[in-house]
Structure 1
Amino acid sequence: MRSLPIITPHYQQLEKQYEQWLKTLGYSKSTITNYPSCIRELFHYLEHLSAGRHGGGITTLQAITADHITAFFLHRKTRKNHRYGGGVSSSHINNGRLALHKFVRFLKVTGQHTIEIDLGPVSVKNNPRVILTKAEIRMLYEATYHHHRQGHGAMGQRDRAILAIFYGCGLRSNEGVQLDVSDILTDKHLVYVHKGKANKERYVPIATTNMQDIKEYLQYGRKWFLNDHSKSHTDHHALFLSTKRIRIRQGGLFCRVRRMAQEAGIGKPVGLHTFRHSIATHLLQNGMDIEQIARFLGHSTLESTQIYTHIVNELQQ
């Protein structure tokens, strides 16, 4: 919702200050982008309130009430998803709640007037994790060979490299998107993650078969994406390129992964993080120690990894 205009100077200033505060605290790039965007949507909504139950347009923090906030989230819950069509997902609603709670925290620590909210506790995760079986992973790999597309196999080579990074290495979506070619240490069979959660760096091992897929993409497929298919600027450093010769974004990868699942005949709602959940579950099923899995995934505590023991137990029932 970056394109939504806000006309109140103080609102404009608050959005910029909030974004800078998140940067200073070292939040991820997606959080730094999405949280201020949620607040911009709130400000835009408040400015355009019609006279009635909630009064006219609201242009000061002091005038914002808990009723305004409740009405905004009701509006957000029922509005159309402008990008993908249909309704707005529960995770999108929940991210807005998280953004607002964090914004109130920002107002408090910076000594500004706070706003009253009454949204109850925020649930960070409210959807069950989607786990692919090992057979479904094989179906995805097979589909990259069987579906002939433009680029003389370049698309299939990129698809297999995507699987190698997000399933084989278990990277988070933002970690994989931000990878450069130089982060693939082919001689050591490692991928260097230097922009992980909370800006933590780590090295992740790459299995031989996964490394072969990545090398094939680097040697052949990626060169096709570097060709002049458009007048866009070329990103020579990015590992994953779009057909516009620029670093592919998370949204683009998400759509590509969904398409891969459709081509493989998988009916589950597959996303980039599905691969991370799946590899963690499969490693645990194969008997890998939970502490090793935690290091592999880049978890700072074992609590984040313990969830996969519950998933495995549920799958065995």
Structure 2
Amino acid sequence: MMGRKTSKPTEIEQLDAHIDDEQLAAGASAMSVLGRQSQQVSDQLGYELPYERERVFQEAQFFMTQSAEAMLEAGQRVILMKENEPHGTFLEMLDRLGLHERTAQKIMQATAKFWSPKLKSNAKAISHLGKTKLYELMLEDDDELIALTQGGTIAGLTLDEIDRMTSRELKEALREERAEHRATAEVLNETTSKYNKLKTKQARIAPPNEDDIAAQLRSETGAHALTAESYIRGSVRAGCVALQEHALENETNHDEVMAGIFAQLERAIVEVRSELGIKAIADGNPLPEWARDASVPLAEQ
């Protein structure tokens, strides 16, 4: 019987045991920053639970089938997933939800808009309008949206009127309002541009005298007054017409609201006029009213 060969001991390759402490520290720091950012997003959205992928996904899945108000709840979860997951994983989760990336973007934008600290307390009053109308209202100013929930108007429309109209009608009304604002701004910009060009041209010819400066100041002040007047005759008037129509159709009364608005405008004019000592009527007399009826005649020069 032959003796068993003695086997050689297996040679184990020595692994490089060097650990890059700086790289580990950088990784830990990045994770810490990511964690703080995730918590900050949760705090801003009012989401109190710690992020957990499947729970947040299932919540989003549930809210996707509900009302427009629930759509904002779903948007909250979609934002959380976007902030906490790698981009590829986030896209996979959108696919599982049946959401196109562009649609998800619109939902996140709506949530960020209507659940901002400034608007969140008023979001419920707007969310019943439906998803499509919420998307249309996203571009409106926060203060105007708050005013809308408190009885004001946007594009001359009250909240009830927006609720009754179709999404297409709302889109058209908002488009017309924005076009009107753009046109007004373009006219003012064009006027200002022409004036600046003329001013530059005159400056090349000769330095301005006192009459030129006075004319310039009068022109600028008049332009500001024209802007204020255009808003009163345009947007404010349209809002009051809408309130009157609403009152007729619904047997209600908005007189106190409208009277308050105009009283506020009139009070502003009276206060500024009083502060600056401006006379009430432009009658061509340069003397202030207090000097016209003075019993003591002015000394002859």
Length-normalised TM-score, structure 2: 0.20
Greater RCO, CA 8 A, separation 6+: 1
